[in-house]
Structure 1
């Protein structure tokens, strides 16, 4: 696997060409904060979701009358990106439209994924460019898996505490599609104590969003302050038995149960005009 390493005097980050996916975040004391990866539970570590987030009905989308096969979370995470910028503390990988991608997604696009280290933080940004002559619909999202428990916090309860407080409504999945019924929020005054049984019914979705930041970790000790921009939807997920928690800000969700398979009609789909660009990002600051 081709890897690019970026670092400063605080942290080291490895990024793979496959999927432009971050593989590790390590502080200079040797602690690993990103999940180590274990195919017995899940093959990802921090995949980029494009051009859809979540599933499509029967793994099929419709675009301008065409019916096209599209697997869960899109094809970017399974694609080889080109390294276009390599600096000591920053790298940029790029994916552009190809014959293979047009068979699934008939648009001329450019997807740049940038990783930057800043002190004890890593910033991951994507920039989507529509190089086509028509409006380009898509969904995009991040799916980083952080260690649960965090290094040095074994045996201690971990929480997710929303920066803006509140109690966002919960939605569940059925067959990978979003149930439109809103359920009571699991958050109380912006706080949620993480337990494996919360994920017995798959991911916890908050389609209307959960603000723009949160604190993950135990009450005291190692924590991750996680913030995001231009990503109105949010989810939490783990595979029961896995020692990770995914903090997932998105722009776009899976299709709804009973909803359209038209790409542009999926909830919160982006509709990017010809020649336009859009940027999305998250920042993970390691504390403690």
Structure 2
């Protein structure tokens, strides 16, 4: 099943499977989300929960007990319930099950709240700890922005002038090796060589947003003030770019395996909730 919300300027469509945004159009019916062609990458904007990235050996421990989770967790592959709907807003919910408890032994509810405001789509995450113990988790976004023109005709304009240092991935884990993204007049011109070693992972940024430029003209703005980390990714010759606000990231090779000790992890007290949002604005 799918749900669509709209206003006079834009519309957004979300799959109930994974509560995944798969369409964002302006009122001229122009599509801004990647179509999901499996020849390149068969997703559009998956939800990353309860981990972001990859665990060492896909394994973690809680109180000495081993559990396994696939890359980016399980929420993106589960069916969400639509619990609230209006013309310009939709709220989806995923609650723990007997199956999730085998992989992640915590009683949670995850809500995805999609709201349209003018030409902006706000995407809010609400994580609720329904259990009586502390709950470690990470959460992140993975929206793929469609780039209909030649890839090299796009560039990234970060909100602030800063040194854009990113960590390199080794075997899908975050290494201590870093590189600095070169800029031209504070812009990062896109080319596929940037992604030869997979995603660019920024543990911290001063910028709270970035704007994708198409032939030097503003195209899409992604704002992520609630998210300290950011991933940027595409595949060779693919006509999209993923701008990925994250709270958490892959394990480091030195990680102990204890989820509570994982670098970048959040910990939510019993009966407490956590909220964070980012936005995609059509320019």
TM-score between the two structures when normalised by the length of structure 1? 0.94
Deviation at 1:169, TM superposition (A): 1.1
Pairwise CA distance, 1:192: 0.8
Tell me whether 1:74 sits opposite 2:73 in the alignment.
yes
How far, CA to CA, are the matches of 1:186 and 1:45 in structure 2?
28
Aligned length: 283
Structure 2: runs of 5+ lacking an equivalent: none
Matched, 1:177 2:148: no
Does structure 2 retain, via aligned residues, the 8 Å contact 1:162–1:210?
no
Change (3 A) 1:93 1:258: same
Matched with 2:147 is 148
Secondary structure, aligned partner of 1:103: helix
Query: Relative to structure 1, is the Cα distance of residues 157 and 210 closer, same or farther in structure 2, using a 3 angstrom cutoff?
Result: farther
Q: 1:33 and 1:184 mapped to 2: Cα distance?
A: 29
Q: 1:206 touches 1:233 (CA, 8 Å); kept in 2?
A: yes
Query: Structure 1 residues 61, 187: closer, same or farther in 2, change over 3 A?
Result: farther
Q: Counterparts in 2 of 1:1-288, with a 5 A limit?
A: 2-149=1-148, 153-154=149-150, 157-187=153-183, 190-287=186-283
- Tell me whether 19-28 or 207-216 shows the greater mean CA deviation: 207-216
Moved more, 259-268 or 181-190: 181-190
Moved over 3 A (4+): 153-156, 185-190, 219-222
CA RMSD of aligned residues (A): 1.5
Given that 2:14 and 2:23 are in contact with CA atoms closer than 8 Å, whether structure 1 keeps it comes out as yes
Which residues of structure 1 form unaligned runs of 5+?
none
> Which string of whole-angstrom CA distances, capped at 9 and with x for unpartnered residues, describes residues 134-186 of structure 1?
1100110000000124xxx5576211111112122111111110011222333
The TM-score normalised by the length of structure 2 is: 0.96
Partner SS state of residue 260, structure 2? helix
**CA–CA distance in structure 2, aligned partners of residues 111 and 190 of structure 1:** 37
